[in-house]
């Protein structure tokens, strides 16, 4: 067993590394590395990924930009090392298992009452007999050897076309305590317009939760034991595996995989796109924030409140009378190493360039304060300008809006995908 596992691990890390290893420049032409081709990263040979485009542009125009590409690769490798650090012995080949529609979706915390106006507002195309033409797939991807949490539940919708051709994909990610079924109105709207739309249950959510405290319990357990990364990072691992699956599907155009999400889902979209350049158009909604900025400026309270019992537990363990900056910092270090330092927004967000990225936030959002976004946004704008792609980056802070995805944001996201994907 051991050699096989070791082999799987080596292959997986190589395959991951291969995704962003700088393509060799031969006589001015970009060629995919043989490693990428032989390790099943087939999409690489089918499309010049945006990442290779960066390298080409940078190489063509000289030294300093080449360095920044290398810096991006280095940061991605460091992030991958962090993800691998708690799953060295858990590697399995990617496998697919059949699933079934979920009849009674799990909402932790207060279940949503009624429908979401914003969610319902996404532009749709009138399709005759839409319900009959809609193809629904429910399946699981085995992403690591970890029981329930190593099984990624996926819901995929698309139109049954008479002329089958490869379609663009939109991956849509849910917010804290919700689940993939919550996103159905958005999934259907994109499907009506010819996209394949995909939602997943994040770690400890939806089908991966057994009670309404599963997510909070997992966060507390990570704080105590330091063996998992239930806040953002473990789900990013799943999203890389989802990228593997999607780029191998016959109905998918592997060069056109977009990613978006709301709140926690926006954070997932941000970190997955930073790490995995196959996500080619990126729209994080009310997810981008400066974790370090919040600590340095005493503005972490609203973020902490969204998963308060975790920080209460840490406060007690640290013998403090109230949650303070030190508690916050220690929790991030333990459950999401680097989140408030090397992988924070000012460093990871610009590295999504030059892939088209729209950042949508509320100007009055206490969980993602816009003052904390000045640095990441200006650095990102500079990164896009440097590669001649200034038009592919946009930041919108909607006036008068708190931590809420609005009708306007849904429309902006939808337009962005139509324009760039």
CB of residue 309 vs ligand NAG: minimum separation in angstroms?
Answer: 9
Contact status: 98 vs ligand NAG (CB under 6 A)? no
Q: How far is the CB of 157 from ligand NAG (least distance, A)?
A: 12
Q: Compute and round to an integer the Cα radius of gyration of the chain.
A: 21
Strand, coil or helix: 321: coil
When asked if residue 390 is in the footprint of ligand NAG (CB under 6 A), the reply is: no
Residue 59, token pair as written in the block: 């190489």
Among 74, 93, 101, 109, binds ligand NAG (CB under 6 A): 109
Residue 138 in the binding site for ligand NAG (CB under 6 A): no
The single residue among 113, 129, 160, 321 that binds ligand NAG, judged by CB under 6 A, is 160
Nearer to ligand NAG, 66 or 135 (CB): 135
What does the alpha-carbon distance between residue 219 and residue 224 come to, in Å, rounded to a whole number?
Answer: 9
CB of 134 vs ligand NAG, minimal distance in Å: 9
Pick one of 14, 47, 94, 135: the residue that binds ligand NAG (CB under 6 A): 135
Helix (H), strand (E) counts: the chain: 18, 11
Residues 21-60, one symbol each (x = binds ligand NAG by CB under 6 A, - = not), give ----------------------------------------
Nearer to ligand NAG, 160 or 321 (CB): 160
Type and span of the H or E element at 137: strand 134-142
Q: Least distance (Å) from ligand NAG to the CB of residue 128?
A: 13
Q: Is 370 in the site for ligand NAG (CB under 6 A)?
A: no
CB nearer to ligand NAG: give 111 or 123: 111
Q: How far apart are alpha carbons 66 and 60 in whole angstroms? A: 9
Binding mask 195-214 for ligand NAG (x = CB under 6 A): -----------------x--
Q: How far apart are CA 43 and CA 40, in angstroms?
A: 8
Give the nearest distance from C-beta 181 to ligand NAG in angstroms. Answer: 18
In the numeric block, which tokens belong to residue 242? Answer: 């989802």
Taking the C-alpha atoms of residue 298 and residue 290, their distance in angstroms, rounded to an integer, is 12
Nearer to ligand NAG, 179 or 380 (CB): 179
Read off the DSSP letter of residue 200.
E
Calpha distance 286→402 (Å, rounded): 9
- Residue closer to ligand NAG (CB basis): 135 or 370: 135
Cross-strand pairs, 418 = none
The structure tokens listed for 166 are 């490869």
Distance of CA 248 to CAs 143, 153, 259, Å? 15, 18, 17
C-beta closer to ligand NAG: residue 124 or 133? 133
Query: In whole angstroms, what is the distance from residue 204 CA to residue 362 CA?
Result: 27
Give the interface with ligand NAG as residue ranges (CB under 6 A). Answer: 109, 135, 160, 212
């Amino acid at each position: 067993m051991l050699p096989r596992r070791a082999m799987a691990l080596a292959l997986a890390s190589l395959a991951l590394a291969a995704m962003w290893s700088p393509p060799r420049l031969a006589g001015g032409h970009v060629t995919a590395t043989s490693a990428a081709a032989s390790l099943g990263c087939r999409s690489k040979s089918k499309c010049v990924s945006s990442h290779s485009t960066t390298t080409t542009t940078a190489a063509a125009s000289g030294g300093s930009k080449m360095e920044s590409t290398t810096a991006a690769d280095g940061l991605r490798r460091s992030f991958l090392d962090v993800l691998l650090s708690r799953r060295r012995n858990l590697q399995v080949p990617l496998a697919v298992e059949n699933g079934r529609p979920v009849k009674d979706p799990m909402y932790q915390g207060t279940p949503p009452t009624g429908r979401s106006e914003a969610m319902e507002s996404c532009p749709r195309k009138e399709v005759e007999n839409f319900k009959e033409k809609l193809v629904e797939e429910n399946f699981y991807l085995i992403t690591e050897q970890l029981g329930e949490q190593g099984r990624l539940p996926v819901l995929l919708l698309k139109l049954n076309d008479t002329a089958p051709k490869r379609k663009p994909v939109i991956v849509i990610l849910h917010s804290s305590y919700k689940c993939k079924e919550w996103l159905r109105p958005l999934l259907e709207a994109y499907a009506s317009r010819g996209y394949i739309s995909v939602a997943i249950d994040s770690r400890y959510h939806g089908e991966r939760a057994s009670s309404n405290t599963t997510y909070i319990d997992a966060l507390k357990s990570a704080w105590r034991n330091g063996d998992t990364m239930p806040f953002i990072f473990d789900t990013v691992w799943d999203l890389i595996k989802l990228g593997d699956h999607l780029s191998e599907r016959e109905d998918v155009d592997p060069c056109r995989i977009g990613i978006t999400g709301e709140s926690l889902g926006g954070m997932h979209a941000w970190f997955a796109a930073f790490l995995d350049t196959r996500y080619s158009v990126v729209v994080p909604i009310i997810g981008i924030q400066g974790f370090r900025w919040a600590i340095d400026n005493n503005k972490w309270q609203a973020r902490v409140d969204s998963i308060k019992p975790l920080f209460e537990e840490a406060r007690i363990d640290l013998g403090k009378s109230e949650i303070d900056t030190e508690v916050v910092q220690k929790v991030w270090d333990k459950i999401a190493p680097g989140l408030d330092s090397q992988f924070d927004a000012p460093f990871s967000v610009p590295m999504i360039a030059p892939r088209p990225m729209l950042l949508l936030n509320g100007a009055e959002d206490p969980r993602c304060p816009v003052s904390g976004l000045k640095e990441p946004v200006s650095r990102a704008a500079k990164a896009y300008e440097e590669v001649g792609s200034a038009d592919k980056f946009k930041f919108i802070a909607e006036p008068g809006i708190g931590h809420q995805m609005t009708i306007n944001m849904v429309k902006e996201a939808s337009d962005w995908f139509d324009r760039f994907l």
